């Protein structure tokens, strides 16, 4: 494709990602209400969330491999179709059993990694981090729109109507995929094409895990696991709509107006080091905060460091592998968060009961300080300025 055609496909991928996040946050206002009406207590609702985490943990790497083998259009079509079924089952859920069953299609619901693959495939390497950063802007837009729309629809028309609305929206996303996303977005060499043809199995565990052998991949994953784990271990307090909107606005500003300028001036290794260092200081501040106002102040450097970290690690990992494997790599990245989503609440509950809320901040500070020292010692500070 010529550059203009590539930019058009990337732009459509941004729209698909924003719509997917909108429907995702819309259902966040449906599921708790429906679960309470069906008699769920806190423990059973936790089981429901854990079930979703396990399903997406299993589906992430497989979906990424599926995208590499069958192409972007087929992969995104599968994700959007699964979303349609997911929301239709949610609209029909009238029992505990059906509420669990409706989570099953989530094994294929990975539109964000699918969009990331398209952007990674079509963007220039030196501009990849900036292009991936704009997907974070889409996330912020979807979070604000979905949270507001979900609350309004559920309050005025009921949870079934809201779920049907999300299913219809997923159909719109599916239309955009068929209309604008090309079947394949990868630029492959002859050798890669022959290798891909010789191993078509989506469930080939060896093809998925072999990516960990690429230089720098295992190290980046270890750092990623350490940083993301601390954030999932923290208990999620109930947040009102205004606070969620504030989070979304901060993220949109950072990823839309700040990240691109930083990635064009500084190396990825330097930005990774910066994000880990700031996260350590944020942990110390979290341990000392006492009011919501303190939280609102802390959110700014927190979102800044996490945004840089997520974008830079995705960019580094997709550059570490061949173009034919970017989908699988992004699927593995998604599975890290799904894994921690399943075990994080349990560990967070233990820390909360035994040591209180400040323990989260102190542990975050110490672990990130350790990761910072390791990165610094292993060359994470190399080249502060891009050539």
Q: Provide the pLDDT for residue 339.
A: 65
Average pLDDT over residues 206-215: 47
In 3D, which of 328, 76, 70 has the Cα closest to residue 181?
Answer: 76
Q: Which stretch of 154-158, 180-184, 279-283, 352-356 has the lowest confidence by average pLDDT? A: 352-356
**Does 188 map to a domain?**
no
299: number of CA atoms within 13 Å, CB side?
17
In a domain, 200, yes or no: no
292-347 pLDDT tens trace = 677 778 878 888 888 788 788 777 877 777 777 777 777 777 666 666 666 665 56
Q: What is the CATH number of the domain that holds 317?
A: 1.20.1250.20
Q: pTM for this one?
A: 0.69
Q: Is residue 202 part of a domain?
A: no
In a domain, 189, yes or no: no
Whether residue 194 is contained in a domain is answered as no
- pLDDT for 223 equals 44
Residue 197 in any domain: the answer is no
Q: Which domain holds residue 335?
A: 3-182+207-377
- State yes or no: pLDDT of 290 exceeds 80: no
Mean pLDDT taken over the chain = 75
Highest mean pLDDT among 141-150, 193-202, 309-318, 324-333: 141-150
Query: What's the pLDDT score for residue 387?
Result: 35
Residue 193, domain member (yes or no): no
* Tens digit of each residue's pLDDT (9 = 90 or more) over 33-77: 788 788 876 667 767 777 877 787 778 778 878 888 888 889 899
pLDDT band at 87 (very low <50, low <70, confident <90, very high): very high
Poorest-pLDDT segment among 5-9, 12-16, 149-153: 149-153
Which helix or strand (DSSP H or E) is residue 264 part of?
helix 259-265
Over residues 195-217, the mean pLDDT reads 48
Three-class secondary structure of residue 172 per DSSP:
helix
8 Å CB contact between 225 and 368: no
- CB of 275 within 8 A of CB of 312? yes
What percent of the chain is modeled with pLDDT above 70?
74
DSSP result, 191-246: HHHHHHHH---TT-HHHHHGGGGSTTHHHHHHHHHHHHHHHHHS------HHHHHH
Confidence at residue 233, expressed as pLDDT on a 0 to 100 scale = 40
Look up residue 188 and give its DSSP letter. Answer: -
For helices 159-180 and 3-28, the axis angle rounded to 10 degrees is 170
Q: Please say if the pLDDT value at position 366 is more than 70.
A: yes
- More confident of the two residues 239 and 133: 133
Higher pLDDT, 379 or 50: 50
231: nearest Cα among 363, 133, 116: 363
pLDDT at 267: 83
pLDDT at 258: 79
Give how many domains the chain has, as a whole number.
1
Higher pLDDT, 204 or 293: 293
Q: Which two tokens stand for residue 328?
A: 């699988």
Q: What is the pLDDT of residue 221?
A: 43
pLDDT of res. 297: 83
pLDDT in tens, 161-172: 989 999 999 999
Beta-carbon contacts of 152 under 8 Å, excluding residues fewer than 6 positions away, are: none
| C-alpha–C-alpha distance, residues 200 and 195, integer Å | 9
pLDDT at 228: 42
Mapped onto helix, strand or coil, the DSSP state of residue 386 is: coil
- Band of pLDDT at residue 384, cut at 50, 70 and 90: very low
Does residue 18 surpass a pLDDT of 60?
Answer: yes
Residue at 320 is within a domain: yes
Which residue has better confidence, 366 or 325? Answer: 366
Of the pLDDT bands very low, low, confident and very high (cuts 50, 70, 90), residue 173 is: very high
Q: Does residue 144 or residue 339 have the better pLDDT?
A: 144
The predicted pLDDT at position 157 comes to: 87
């Amino acid at each position: 494709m010529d550059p203009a055609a590539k930019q058009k496909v990337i732009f459509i991928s941004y729209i698909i990602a924003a719509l997917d996040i909108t429907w995702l946050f819309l259902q966040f206002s449906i599921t708790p209400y429906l679960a309470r009406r069906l008699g769920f207590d806190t423990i059973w609702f936790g089981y429901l969330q854990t079930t979703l985490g396990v399903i997406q943990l299993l589906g992430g790497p497989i979906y990424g491999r599926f995208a590499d083998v069958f192409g972007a259009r087929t992969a995104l079509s599968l994700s959007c179709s699964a979303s349609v079924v997911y929301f239709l089952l949610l609209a029909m859920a009238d029992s505990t059993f059906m509420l669990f069953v409706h989570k099953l299609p989530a094994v294929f619901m990975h539109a964000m990694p699918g969009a990331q693959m398209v952007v990674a495939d079509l963007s220039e390497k030196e501009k990849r981090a900036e292009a991936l950063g704009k997907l974070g802007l889409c996330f912020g837009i979807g979070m604000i729109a979905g949270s507001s729309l979900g609350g309004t629809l559920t309050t005025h028309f009921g949870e079934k109507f809201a779920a049907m609305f999300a299913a219809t929206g997923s159909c719109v996303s599916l239309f955009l995929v068929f209309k604008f996303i090309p079947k394949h977005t990868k630029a492959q060499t002859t050798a890669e094409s022959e290798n891909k043809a010789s191993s078509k199995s989506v469930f080939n565990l060896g093809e998925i895990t072999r990516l960990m052998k690429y230089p720098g991949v295992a190290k980046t994953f270890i750092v990623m696991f350490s940083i993301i784990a601390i954030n999932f271990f923290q208990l999620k307090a109930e947040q009102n709509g205004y606070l969620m909107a504030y989070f979304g606005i901060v993220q949109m500003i950072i990823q839309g107006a700040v990240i691109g300028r930083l990635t064009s001036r500084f190396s990825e290794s330097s930005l990774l080091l910066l994000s880990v260092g700031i996260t350590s200081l944020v942990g110390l501040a979290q341990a000392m905060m006492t009011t919501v106002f303190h939280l609102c102040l802390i959110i700014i450097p927190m979102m800044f460091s996490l945004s840089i970290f997520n974008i830079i690690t995705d960019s580094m990992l997709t550059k570490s592998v061949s173009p034919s494997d970017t989908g699988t790599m992004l699927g593995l990245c998604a599975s890290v968060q799904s894994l921690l989503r399943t075990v994080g609440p349990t560990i967070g509950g233990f820390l909360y009961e035994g040591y209180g809320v400040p323990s989260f901040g102190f542990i975050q500070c110490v672990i990130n300080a350790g990761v910072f020292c390791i990165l610094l010692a292993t060359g994470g500070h190399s080249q502060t300025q891009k050539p």
